[in-house]
Structure 1
Amino acid sequence: MTSVRSVSVVLIDDHPVVLAGIESWYAASVDPEVRVVAKGATLAAATNGPGAEADVVILDLQLGTGVSAYAELRHLVARQRQVIVYTMQDSAQAALTCLDIGAFTYLTKAEGEEHLLQATLAAAAGVPYTPPALAGALGSDTRRERPRLAAREIEVLLEWFQSESKAMVAESLGISVRTVNTYLDRVRIKYANVGRPATTKANLVAKAVQDGLISLEEL
């Protein structure tokens, strides 16, 4: 799955027993090692101290406020964090909303240790990961044919269309080539899930023009 030797994680959940359970799962990982460097019940765990530099953020969608943590997710995505939403809420609409905002993936807590660990390693490596509940949500998505892309996904996509290489995109946007690939993979997955696969750059250009994301003059 990944060539990294160590992955750092921050946990955001308002249930201490959940935090303890997830931390024990990660503690058992060896190759690669997964380390919980910060945890807490609020966004501060991922924005202050060692959590601010963690490779992956595990975010509960309900944090005791009675309101889904979409604002917290947007805050993290805007800062280019790799966020796994890990929640009791088995809702196709919630899963699709989180993906639209820019979450790396969406897991229900019923999916347990194996999927959370694999998703964490995938997030650290920038490799897409679709657990069963999310696959079901994507399969039942009856929204309009045009996929809903997050603002950052569109930005990376358009920059790539106008650049000669992914390295140039990375330099222009101040991100890594791995992150560029992650965003482009997400875009391809979203197009595939609405029945419009785009496996090449030319395919993506054509679909972006069709969907009004870019004009021929801009190319």
Structure 2
Amino acid sequence: MKINLANIRQEYTKGGLKANDLPEDPITLFEKWLNDAIEAKTEEPTAVIVGTVSPEGTPSTRTVLLKALREGQFVFYTNYESRKGSHLAQNPHISLSFVWHELERQVHIEGIAAKVSPEESDAYFKTRPYKSRIGARISPQSRPVGSRVEIMRLFVAEAARWIGREVERPDNWGGYEVTPTRIEFWQGRPSRLHDRFLYILQEDKQNWKRERLAP
């Protein structure tokens, strides 16, 4: 590679995070940061990197979109038979990472994933664009396919089946709700002396312990 990657550097100067400004509940701070990202028109503000672990102990990451934040839980939707779905069926431990480069902020979350109710998945599925609903029905997510033409043929055939009818959610597609147990907020600072604050859920499952981490 002709580019010297070691010379690519950026000084972080857009903000700071003080202990005195931290709320007791990390969800309150997350909501503020997410709203900041949306108002700043960052690229894909709801994009979140999801980390799972295979039965063999191999980690895997991919990016999805956060679709709800309710009662302290983070909700996203996917194919239950995808690679992440098969991982979560064996091991519900999960990580979520939000990265908002424009604001020099990151949030890293660890917790437990569980499927949302079929009724909640149905309700969200109905809000999706028509083509997305058809795509969810025909995509063998994470599995090999012969070509894009093969997928397009499946899409056209499935679309024809639902002309004039409400497209139903397939049983293998739905939501996960992530209950967090660990949330870290990262704010870039000059000289790589970043602000990092960690919230850890206590045994009572209600209160959070807060501490500053070394950058």
Question: Under a length normalisation based on structure 1, what TM-score does the superposition of the two structures give?
Answer: 0.23
State the TM-score, normalized to the length of structure 2.
0.23
Larger Rg: 2
Q: Which has the higher helix share?
A: 1
Counting strand residues as a fraction of each chain, which structure ranks higher? 2
